[in-house]
Structure 1
Amino acid sequence: MERHWKISDTEFEEQFSNNTFKPLWFSHEAHLRLAWIYVTKYGKEIAFDKYSKQLKTFADKYNAEGKYNATVTFASIQIMSHYIENSDAYDFQDFINEFSQLKTNFKEIISKYYSDDIFTSEEAKQHLLQPDLKPFHE
């Protein structure tokens, strides 16, 4: 089990909002959990705003220059929102068990929307790029 499970969703959000979350705990699954917390609590639009601002702040605090990616952040919220809408889960643990492909095949899921590798693209890191293969579900 990953380290981020040691704290509740409320503590997770609070620590991330206050920029006190432990960087070694911030795995891919923790990214997904934070997106899940924000989308389920605030809705897609507010979630994206909070998620992107706080990820930038987190990256800046830990000198992870070049780690923040505007397009991946946007895509993550869009994809998570779609899966949440199609889920019966009441918590993130049930949600990620229901949609384990989010944890294991996230790049493959994003590649359904983007023809380029947005994970390494400098343009995608700096600017929010819309999908060029198919639009996100609205």
Structure 2
Amino acid sequence: MNPETANDGEFLAAVEATTWPGERFGHREHVRLGWLYLRRHGPEAGSTRIRETIQRYAASLGASAKYHETVTRAWSAHVYAALRETPHLEPFSAFLAAHPELLDGKLLERHYRKETLDAEAARREWVAPDVAPLPVFP
């Protein structure tokens, strides 16, 4: 499987099997994973799958401490909001073109102070926004 040309099924299978190259699992791939799970499983089951898969994947790379519960859930809320706007938009590249804000690494600054997200408590468990509400998400 080539990370440059992997289709959605190949990508998802490789991430779930923890064989996707760690150096190729950046922000865009996190968003893609969220898009796939939320489309296929809805907000509740999709959110659970996102969290479990990212945790398992991080552990396989020896990077369990990198998992951040609040960031994962906050980004899932934004991906789900975009999905509600364009539920049938495919492929992923078209979805991203319609929602370029999802590639903005500073998007969560609209909702959280830096100190809040940097806190160990926010890494371990869900912490509500302290600047502005997130999009509605279960």
State the TM-score, normalizing by the size of structure 1. Answer: 0.86
The share of aligned pairs that are identical, in percent, is: 23
Question: SS state of the match for residue 14, structure 1?
Answer: helix
Q: Does 1:90 align with 2:128?
A: no
Structure 1 unaligned blocks of 5 or more: none
Aligned match of 1:21: 20
**Structure 2: distance between partners of 1:131 and 1:42:** 25
Aligned match of 1:73: 72
Structure 2 unaligned blocks of 5 or more: none
1:135 is displaced (CA, Å) by 2.9
1:106 is displaced (CA, Å) by 3.1
Alignment of 1:1-138 (within 5 A): 4-87=3-86, 89-103=89-103, 105-107=104-106, 109-138=107-136
**Structure 1: distance between partners of 2:60 and 2:116:** 23
**Structure 2: distance between partners of 1:126 and 1:67:** 10
**Structure 2: distance between partners of 1:62 and 1:23:** 7
Contact 2:11–2:20 (Cα < 8 Å) also in 1: yes
**Structure 2: distance between partners of 1:41 and 1:50:** 11
The aligned amino acid for 1:89 is: L
Count of aligned positions? 134
CA spacing shift, 1:134–1:60, aligned 2, 3 Å: same
Contact 2:69–2:126 (Cα < 8 Å) also in 1: yes
State the TM-score, normalizing by the size of structure 2. Answer: 0.86
CA spacing shift, 1:31–1:4, aligned 2, 3 Å: farther
CA spacing shift, 1:5–1:33, aligned 2, 3 Å: farther
- Give CA-to-partner distance per residue, 1:4-43, whole Å, 9 cap, x none: 4421111111111222222121011111111111111111
Q: CA RMSD in A?
A: 1.8
The aligned amino acid for 2:43 is: K
The aligned amino acid for 2:13 is: E
